[in-house]
Amino acid sequence: MFLIVQNDPLCPAGGLLHLLKESGSPYRCLAAYAGEPLPDPASCTGIVVLGGEMGVHDTADHPHLALVIDFIRAALTTRTPLLGICLGGQLLSHAAGGVVSSPSPHREMGICRVDVIAEGSSDPLFAGIPNPFVTFQLHSDSFTVPPGGTLLASSGACPAQAFRLPGCVYGVQFHPEVDRAIVDAWDGLFSPRADYLSGFIAAETEFNAASRAILANFISLATGARLS
């Protein structure tokens, strides 16, 4: 079973759910923000930790984050395949000894291009991905690659876009899971209302091709790791 850990009600799994259904992989969405208990990570085929408006260090206001950090550390111990997206990637970096800056000078909003560096070009997470690839960003914080990790992707605005830890464990700063409905909802978080949706729609074909491939690659890698 794939476990999707949702940290924020406005940050759902989006297109990831369609890919899991297409692959025939059983999955469960867990609302960590609502206090749903986290399982033993060893029982999971793979784990995806989603984003959120809050930051890694906001545990006083969002106490579920401390539980998610402990859960990620347990997943690293059990070597359970894991993908952290945006806040999820920041939580992974923090749990593994990296540094999360809040706020960060590496802020990005809307459609961006990300470069896959040499180490990423040979990594199966980015197999079949254009270089650079089009993705969507919405972050004011950023992570460093934690000790023992390998940088896989970067951008001019944000030097650490993706990293790998030993085993099938990845953190990414960008959002491969979003769709029109999610971006539209996020536009409404700003006052006055933002308009990242129009840029997303204009780049949607390129975005979907790269994002679906990245997520499908992780599903395949996690499934293979658990079967080996």
The reported pLDDT for the residue numbered 103 is: 84
3-state secondary structure the chain: CEEEEECCCCCCCCHHHHHHHHHCCCEEEEEHHHCCCCCCHHHCCEEEECCCCCCCCCCCCCCHHHHHHHHHHHHHHHCCCEEEECHHHHHHHHHCCCCEECCCCCCEEEEEEEEECHHHHCCHHHCCCCCCEEEEEEECCEECCCCCCEEEEECCCCCCCEEEECCCEEEECCCCCCCHHHHHHHHCCCCCCCCCHHHHHHCHHHHHHHHHHHHHHHHHHHHHHHHC
Among 44, 62, 64, 86, the one annotated catalytic: 86
Does the structure show a pLDDT above 70 at 164?
A: yes
Pairwise CA distance, residues 134 & 200, whole Å:
10
Among 62, 94, 139, 175, the one annotated catalytic: 175
Residue 227: band (very low, low, confident or very high) from pLDDT cuts 50, 70, 90: low
The reported pLDDT for the residue numbered 101 is: 87
Catalytic-residue membership of 175: yes
The reported pLDDT for the residue numbered 102 is: 80
For the segment 67-89, the average pLDDT, to the nearest whole number, is 98
Among 62, 106, 108, 177, the one annotated catalytic: 177
Catalytic-residue membership of 168: no
Catalytic-residue membership of 36: no
pLDDT tens, residue by residue, 25-54: 999 999 999 999 999 999 999 999 999 999
Does the structure show a pLDDT above 80 at 208?
A: yes
Residue 107: band (very low, low, confident or very high) from pLDDT cuts 50, 70, 90: confident
The reported pLDDT for the residue numbered 228 is: 60
The reported pLDDT for the residue numbered 105 is: 86
The reported pLDDT for the residue numbered 58 is: 96
* Domain architecture of the chain: domains with CATH: 2-227 (3.40.50.880)
Long-range contacts of 203-211 (CB under 8 A, 24+ apart): 203/111, 203/134, 204/180, 206/130, 206/133, 206/134, 207/111, 207/134, 207/135, 207/136, 208/15, 209/130, 210/129, 210/130, 210/133, 210/134, 210/135, 210/176, 211/15, 211/135, 211/176, 211/177, 211/178
Q: Of the candidates 43, 51, 42, 45, which has an alpha carbon nearest to the alpha carbon of residue 5?
A: 51
- Report the mean per-residue pLDDT for the chain: 96
